[in-house]
Amino acid sequence: MSQIIETILCPCREWSKITGMLVRRSTIITLGASAAFGVLAIIMARGFIDGAVNTQNAQLRANMTVAPIPKPKVRTVPVIVADMQLMPGEPVTTQSVTLVQFPISSVPEGSFGAYEELFTEPENPAVALTQIVRGEPILAFKISEPGGRASLSAALADNMRAVSIRVDDVSGVAGFVRPEDRVDVVLTREIEPKTISRYGKSTGNEPVFVAELLLQDVKVLAADQTSHTGSITNPNSDGPKLAKTITLEVSPVQAQKLALAKFVGTMSLALRAPRSTERINAKALRTADLTGSQPAPRQTIRRKAPVSQTAKVVVVRDDGQPRLVNVYRDRPKQQNLAGGAP
């Protein structure tokens, strides 16, 4: 019986082995074909993308080459400008200027378009009246006439005045105040003079002085006859110089203060730092503020009122009844030394 069963099952087992081998082989072939198609798809997609990008870049380069950006056409004219910095008083020569092209719509009024227009008298050049920086157009109102010189009025700002004050070696900061510096003006004046008796002797009351900041951050125009354009006798002079007068640039109201201060007291200058623009509200200082002591208070003597004198008197009136009344004695009239009413 067992042999019969074994004879029947042997063919089945062989068929199962053959079927299993066929299934595994078909699966491997399917997976390999899928991988191959995937790689092929990636290669084709990459080639398509690279071709599209290259085509787009080529088209952009072709557009840029065929259609360049047009430049706007601007009409220009020559204008004379400074080729170096010119300070007030310096001559304007052919070596200090040059010609540049300016748009015709931006040419400033009063400029020069040719050397012949500017240098009408080459032997007598004009001078700069104000500071002219490099590259700035040379304008007619910024230079003098041929052979002229820079004046102090040309250095004044709009609505400003030039006022001179007298100084010495101390009040003038030992000659270190130069044109273009900035200073403060300090006024020292006497507010309580020394008391003198009628016999010419001092009563002991010392004079009281006060120092106050009159002006702040004032521009110095000139020291004696030396301004920012140079000295009249020596235009190239430099260095400290003891000046007797200092000319300041002030407003009309400040000019009035300086004119009045000349008769009130003594003015001194305080030199400021080049970039200092601080303005302080400083209070006036008196003589007692030097040591921090306070002045002694004034003693006031008050005169005592005279004591009224009274007396008791018995008075009998019409009704016949005696009454006791107080009688006040009149106060003596005091002489008014001031001459007014008592």
- Cα–Cα distance, 229 to 155 (Å, whole number): 9
Is a pLDDT exceeding 70 seen at residue 332?
no
pLDDT digits (tens, 9 = 90+) for 193-206: 655 555 445 555 67
Highest mean pLDDT among 13-22, 122-131, 262-271: 262-271
In the chain, domain spans: 1-59, 73-150, 158-290
Return the pLDDT at 201: 53
Residue 130 vs residue 6, higher pLDDT = 130
Return the pLDDT at 284: 85
Is a pLDDT exceeding 50 seen at residue 342?
no
For residue 241, give the nearest of 231, 253, 251 by alpha carbon: 231
Is a pLDDT exceeding 50 seen at residue 338?
no
The tokens describing 56, both together, are 């787009």
Which of 94-108, 115-129, 203-217 has the lowest average pLDDT? 203-217
**pLDDT category of residue 288 using cuts at 50, 70 and 90:** confident
Is a pLDDT exceeding 70 seen at residue 152?
yes
Which of 21-35, 134-148, 156-170 has the lowest average pLDDT? 21-35
Average pLDDT over residues 305-316: 65
pLDDT digits (tens, 9 = 90+) for 107-150: 899 999 999 999 888 888 888 887 889 999 999 888 888 877 76
Tally of CB atoms within 10 A around 148? 13
**Model confidence, pTM:** 0.49
The tokens describing 315, both together, are 């008075």
DSSP-assigned letters across all residues of 245-308: EEEEEE-HHHHHHHHHHHHHSEEEEEEPPTT------PPPEEGGGGTTPPPPPPP-PPPPPPPP
DSSP H/E element including 166: strand 161-166
Is a pLDDT exceeding 60 seen at residue 230?
no
Which of 155-169, 190-204, 302-316 has the lowest average pLDDT? 190-204
Task: Tell which CATH classification among 3.90.1210.10, 3.30.420.40, 1.10.1060.10, 3.50.50.60 matches the domain 73-150.
Answer: 3.90.1210.10
DSSP H/E element including 190: strand 182-192
Q: What share of the chain is helix, strand, coil (3-state, %, to 5)?
A: 30, 25, 45
**pLDDT category of residue 39 using cuts at 50, 70 and 90:** confident
Tell me the CA distances in angstroms from 67 to 59, 61, 62, one per residue in order. 12, 10, 8
Average pLDDT over residues 201-222: 81
Is a pLDDT exceeding 80 seen at residue 214?
yes
At 112, the amino acid letter reads: F
Is a pLDDT exceeding 70 seen at residue 299?
no
